[in-house]
Structure 1
Amino acid sequence: MSEKIDLKKQLDAYRAKQGEFRILDVPPQRYLAIDGAGDPNTAVFGEAVEALFPVAYALKFASKRQLGRDYVVMPLEGLWWSDELDAFTSRRDKSRWQWTLLVLTPEWIDGDLVEAAIGQVAAKAAAPARLADVRIDTLEEGRCVQTLHLGSFDDEAGVLERLHHEFLPANGLTPTGRHHEIYLSDPRKTAPEKLRTILRQPVRPLSAPR
């Protein structure tokens, strides 16, 4: 049996420092994904999380058993967007948010293994309510800017204001694609002031075509 792989320690896209905006190129990645809308403090959000992780763990165990490749299940991630940017940066109007929750899958996981894992979870007596909404998806973000936020999710607004209104204009960049968050801490086990979250924004040069 090969050594258990922790992709968080191997992939450059999972490195960030507090107080530093870093420009990087993120390669295409494949994720388990599920969509939703509205305040993340609601049951709808919780149901989406509850649908993703049983599939993620079923994939991990199938990979270990069938392929001889064990790995650490990756943390929850989220794409967030709204018709108005200030719904994130200043007003934090969570009722207007839309989101896609993600869990990264290793490159050797194929669609057949994902389908089998979903079927395995569905066969259980207490299958998640939104299991049918889980899919495999490829995200191509390309050039991005990211930083590490330490603290509660509601304290992200100031960091996002500096990113969008200071760093991007100063570097001739403009947003393209959806705001991306990677939750390195489990909020159920971590005090709000100690939460570690990577904040990522895909970008393009101001002079580049859309």
Structure 2
Amino acid sequence: MTARALTAEALGTALLVTAVVGSGIMAQSLTTDTALALLANTIATGAALFMLITTFGAVSGAQFNPAVTLVFALRGEIAPNLALAYVAAQALGGVIGTLAAHAMFDLALLQTSTHIRTGAPQYLAEIIATFGLILAILGAINAKANVATTVACYITAAYWFTASTSFANPAVALARAFTDTFAGIRPADLGGFWAAEVVGAVLAAALGGWLFKKT
């Protein structure tokens, strides 16, 4: 079970990043309109999330995100050792996903992003993006609603209402540092994004634990 779960986390994160980076490359090659490129990137990401969570949910929980794994570890729903293994699988899968996207579009496999994403507004956006994502997941579980639909809809919306375009995922952020394309993030900016994502996740875990408490 553990081997299957780790494979699902790595493969799911890889495919998610391939969708994020690949759709960004495709959009950038087809249009010079940044809004249209972001729309294409958004649709591909939301659709991929729905498919991946539906496909791998019963195998690993389809977390694909260290911030999500952290929350479930804090809630005692995943053992610390397994949580660390999940995070490693997600990080590895994410980087592989970036390499796969580059290979498909005949780009240099190894790149370093020069896309600047820094500053207090960006970090606040990541706190809000991750906070909302975690609440969406916990709320959907509490309501026995479809998590795949809830997450896909939230991320699709958050691409547009956050200044950062809603990374909300440390593993995906890491993977996007290895692409100097539309979806990239400069490696120097990762620390601020990671910190903001952890803050958003912990705040949502605390509020969600109270808000969705079984009575």
TM-score by length of 1: 0.31
| Structure richer in helix, relative to its length | 2
Larger Rg: 1
TM-score by length of 2: 0.31
| Structure richer in strand, relative to its length | 1
